[in-house]
C-alpha cells in the first residue's frame, strides 16, 4: 500500500471525518501535539504512530497506550499492524478505517429534479380576501334573519364589522408572536385562520338547529355541539401554532388533545359531580324552519306522556312517603 492513504474516523457506519496522509510518519492521539487529534477520553494522549517502511508498506504502531489498540475483523489486541485497504482498528470508543486513494466510491444517487414548495391554501391572497368577505356576509345575514323587531341598520352594520375587527385583532396578536419566534409576521395567514374560526362559530348554531329540527334530535346534540366547538378551536390553534413555533405537527396535536380534554372536564365538572344544570332561559331556535326540512317525524304528545310515566310513578311514590 505504497500510495497516499486516507484515515477515516467512523461513527457507526458513517464517516465523521477524513484525514489525508500525505507525509508519514503521522501520530494519532488525544494530545494537541499529534497530527490527528481524537476527542475520545479513552484514547491516550499519544496512542498511535503510522510510518512507512522501506518496502512502501504503511505500518501502525501502538506507542504504549493505556487502553490498547484492537483490530476489528478479527477482534484482537495488537501492538503493530500492516495497513491493508479497508483495515479497521479500534482505539478507545473510536473506530478508524484506512482506505487508499484509488478506492472506488459508489455510484451517485440520482435525485429527481426538486420542485418548488407548494403554497398552502391559507397563504394565498385569494383565500384571505374570500374568507373575510364570507365572514362579513355571513354575520350580516345571520343578524338579519334572527332580527324580529324593526330593522336597525346600525345593528346590522355592527354585526358585520365586529367579527371583522375581532379577526384582525386576534391575527395581530399571533402575528407579533410569529415575528418574535420565526422572524416573519404571517399576518395574512393568521387573519385567514381567525376569520375561518369565526365563520365556523357563525355557521355552527344554525347548522345544529337544522340538524336537530330535521331529524328530531334531542338534547344529546349539545354534546356534539361542544365537540364541534372544541374541534373548531383546536383547528385554529393548530395552524396558529404551526406558523409561530417550530414544533412538529404531531407535537402540536398532542398538546391540543391534552388541552381539549382538560377543557371538557372543566366545562362539565358540574355534571360529573352529579349536579343538575339549571337555567331560567328557554332554549329554542330564534328562526322558524319550514316543515319540508323535517326528515324524521316529530315526537307525538302520546309518546311524550309514555316517556314520563316512570317519572310520574316516582313522584307519586315520594308523595306517599311524606
CA–CA distance, 188 with 130 (Å, rounded to integer): 12
CA–CA distance, 38 with 27 (Å, rounded to integer): 11
Same domain, 160 and 208: yes
Averaged pLDDT score across all residues of the chain: 81
Task: Tell me whether strands 58-62 and 36-37 are parallel, antiparallel or unpaired.
Answer: unpaired
Burial class (CB in 10 A: 0-12, 13-18, 19+), 37: middle
Same domain, 61 and 177: no
CA–CA distance, 19 with 99 (Å, rounded to integer): 10
According to the model, what pLDDT value does residue 193 have?
A: 93
- With cut-offs at 50, 70 and 90, classify the pLDDT of residue 79: very high
Same domain, 147 and 85: no
- With cut-offs at 50, 70 and 90, classify the pLDDT of residue 23: confident
- Model pLDDT for residues 194-222, shown as the tens digit of each residue: 999 999 988 888 787 777 777 766 656 77
Element (H, E) at 8: strand 5-11
Q: Is residue 311 pLDDT above 60, yes or no?
A: yes
- Find out whether 11 and 29 touch, Cβ atoms under 8 Å: no
CA–CA distance, 98 with 58 (Å, rounded to integer): 10
Same domain, 126 and 237: yes
- With cut-offs at 50, 70 and 90, classify the pLDDT of residue 259: confident
Q: Which domain holds residue 67?
A: 5-100
According to the model, what pLDDT value does residue 147 have?
A: 64
DSSP 184: -
Has residue 277 been placed in a domain?
Answer: no
- With cut-offs at 50, 70 and 90, classify the pLDDT of residue 321: confident
According to the model, what pLDDT value does residue 60 have?
A: 94
User: φ and ψ at 96, to 5 degrees?
Assistant: -110, 140
- With cut-offs at 50, 70 and 90, classify the pLDDT of residue 284: low
Pick the closest to residue 59 from 73, 45, 69, 44 (CA basis): 69
DSSP 86: T
Grid coordinates representing 302?
302520546
Has residue 240 been placed in a domain?
Answer: yes
Of 105 and 27, more confident: 27
Same domain, 193 and 78: no
DSSP 118: P
Q: Order of strands, edge to edge, in the sheet holding 58-62?
A: 36-37, 26-29, 48-52, 58-62, 80-82
According to the model, what pLDDT value does residue 192 have?
A: 93
Instruction: Give me the percent of the chain exceeding a pLDDT of 70.
Output: 79
CATH of the domain at 90: 2.60.200.20
Has residue 307 been placed in a domain?
Answer: no
Q: Is residue 46 pLDDT above 60, yes or no?
A: yes
Same domain, 96 and 126: no
- Find out whether 198 and 163 touch, Cβ atoms under 8 Å: yes
According to the model, what pLDDT value does residue 247 have?
A: 78
- Find out whether 296 and 216 touch, Cβ atoms under 8 Å: yes
CA–CA distance, 203 with 206 (Å, rounded to integer): 6
Same domain, 237 and 134: yes
Same domain, 87 and 133: no
According to the model, what pLDDT value does residue 248 have?
A: 77
Is the pTM value of this prediction over 0.85? no
Q: How many residues make up the chain in this entry?
A: 322
According to the model, what pLDDT value does residue 131 have?
A: 92
- At 37 the three-state DSSP class reads strand
Average pLDDT for 45-64: 92
**Total domain count for the chain?**
2
- Model pLDDT for residues 222-238, shown as the tens digit of each residue: 777 888 888 888 898 89
Average pLDDT for 125-149: 82
Grid coordinates representing 27?
501520530
Has residue 143 been placed in a domain?
Answer: yes
According to the model, what pLDDT value does residue 155 have?
A: 76
Cα atoms in the 13 Å half-sphere on the side-chain side of 81: 28
Pick the closest to residue 45 from 60, 25, 24, 67 (CA basis): 67
Same domain, 75 and 139: no
Q: Is residue 272 pLDDT above 60, yes or no?
A: no
Chosen domain end from 34, 67, 100: 100
Has residue 21 been placed in a domain?
Answer: yes
Q: Is residue 90 pLDDT above 90, yes or no?
A: yes
Chosen domain end from 69, 100, 131: 100
Has residue 116 been placed in a domain?
Answer: no
Has residue 271 been placed in a domain?
Answer: no
Amino acid at each position: 500500500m505504497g500510495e497516499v492513504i486516507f484515515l477515516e474516523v467512523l461513527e457507526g457506519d458513517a464517516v465523521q471525518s477524513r484525514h489525508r496522509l500525505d507525509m508519514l510518519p503521522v501520530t494519532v492521539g488525544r494530545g494537541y501535539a499529534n497530527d490527528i487529534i481524537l476527542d475520545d477520553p479513552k484514547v491516550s494522549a499519544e496512542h498511535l504512530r503510522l510510518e512507512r517502511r522501506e518496502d512502501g508498506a504503511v505500518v501502525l504502531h501502538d506507542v504504549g497506550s493505556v487502553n490498547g489498540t484492537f483490530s476489528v475483523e478479527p477482534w484482537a489486541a495488537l501492538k503493530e499492524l500492516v495497513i491493508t485497504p479497508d483495515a479497521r482498528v479500534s482505539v478507545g470508543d473510536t473506530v478508524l478505517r484506512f482506505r487508499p486513494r484509488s478506492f472506488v466510491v459508489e455510484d451517485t444517487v440520482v435525485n429527481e429534479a426538486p420542485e418548488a414548495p407548494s403554497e398552502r391554501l391559507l397563504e394565498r391572497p385569494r383565500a384571505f380576501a374570500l374568507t373575510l368577505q364570507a365572514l362579513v356576509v355571513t354575520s350580516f345575514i345571520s343578524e338579519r334573519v334572527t332580527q324580529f323587531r324593526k330593522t336597525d341598520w346600525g345593528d346590522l352594520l355592527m354585526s358585520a364589522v365586529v367579527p371583522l375587527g375581532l379577526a384582525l385583532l386576534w391575527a395581530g396578536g399571533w402575528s407579533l408572536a410569529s415575528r418574535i419566534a420565526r422572524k416573519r409576521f404571517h399576518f395574512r395567514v393568521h387573519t385567514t385562520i381567525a376569520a375561518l374560526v369565526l365563520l365556523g362559530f357563525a355557521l355552527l348554531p344554525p347548522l345544529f338547529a337544522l340538524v336537530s329540527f330535521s331529524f328530531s334530535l334531542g338534547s344529546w346534540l349539545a354534546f356534539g355541539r361542544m365537540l364541534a366547538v372544541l374541534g373548531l378551536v383546536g383547528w385554529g390553534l393548530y395552524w396558529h401554532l404551526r406558523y409561530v413555533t417550530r414544533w412538529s405537527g404531531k407535537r402540536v396535536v398532542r398538546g391540543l388533545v391534552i388541552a381539549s380534554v382538560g377543557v371538557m372536564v372543566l366545562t362539565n365538572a358540574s355534571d360529573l359531580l352529579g349536579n343538575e344544570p339549571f337555567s331560567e332561559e328557554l332554549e329554542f331556535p330564534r328562526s322558524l324552519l319550514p316543515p319540508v326540512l323535517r326528515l324524521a317525524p316529530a315526537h307525538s304528545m302520546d309518546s311524550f306522556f309514555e316517556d314520563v310515566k316512570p317519572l310520574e310513578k316516582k313522584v307519586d311514590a315520594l308523595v306517599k312517603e311524606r
